Amino acid sequence: MRRLPHALSVDDVAGLLDAAGTGDGPLPLRDRALLELLYATGARISEIVGLDVDGVGDSTAVRLLGKGSKERVVPVGSFARDALQAYLVRARPALAAAGRGTPALFLNTRGARMSRQTAWAALQASAARAGLTEHVSPHTLRHSFATHLLSGGADVRVVQELLGHASVTTTQIYTMVTPDALREVYAAAHPRAR
């Protein structure tokens, strides 16, 4: 039996994202925008740190370059748009001033493109501040994105497109049902389950 991907609860994701924006200076704004965008789009960490400012357009969608140089456009919700706007207006200019000018969306303290390792460290620091004791990685947010969409009633084919999976088989792992979920649905739906 295939193992289910690890996903955080909606409340744990909210706590993680809230913890990312704590503190002074440009880094909390950057980290909040980074994590909000990761969760809002289900993107891989390399896709997010690879974004350029012009890739976010009007911020209602982002253009991601995935595996095999496949491009996809993914919508962005209001929480991520607000965090992104705050970062672009109040934090990115300060970070960019330390560098030589780069089109990169997310910058490090030297004004250069943020690395995957720096993004990972920002996530780990936010998870610690949120009091999450389980392992949290950028891929955990991707799994959470897919799981939450499917739990909310999204079609598996739509989630496949949003994730950039070539095959729906890859996406279907998120549709696997846990024993607890089976019992819950059975108890609620079967007329003689009491």
Residues annotated as catalytic are: 44, 67, 139, 142, 165, 174
CA–CA gap between residue 139 and residue 141 (Å, rounded)? 5
- The H-or-E segment that residue 64 falls in is strand 61-65
CA–CA gap between residue 64 and residue 51 (Å, rounded)? 7
Q: How many C-beta neighbours within 10 Å does residue 71 have?
A: 10
The torsion angles phi and psi of 126, rounded to 5 degrees, stand at: -65, -40
DSSP reduced 3-state for 76: coil
Q: Hey, CA dihedral for 36, 38, 41, 47, is it positive or negative?
A: positive
CA–CA gap between residue 183 and residue 95 (Å, rounded)? 51
The torsion angles phi and psi of 173, rounded to 5 degrees, stand at: -60, -30
Q: How far is the CA of 115 from the CAs of 16, 20, 58, 65, 109, in angstroms?
A: 20, 17, 24, 16, 11
User: Tokens 């000018």, residue?
Assistant: 101
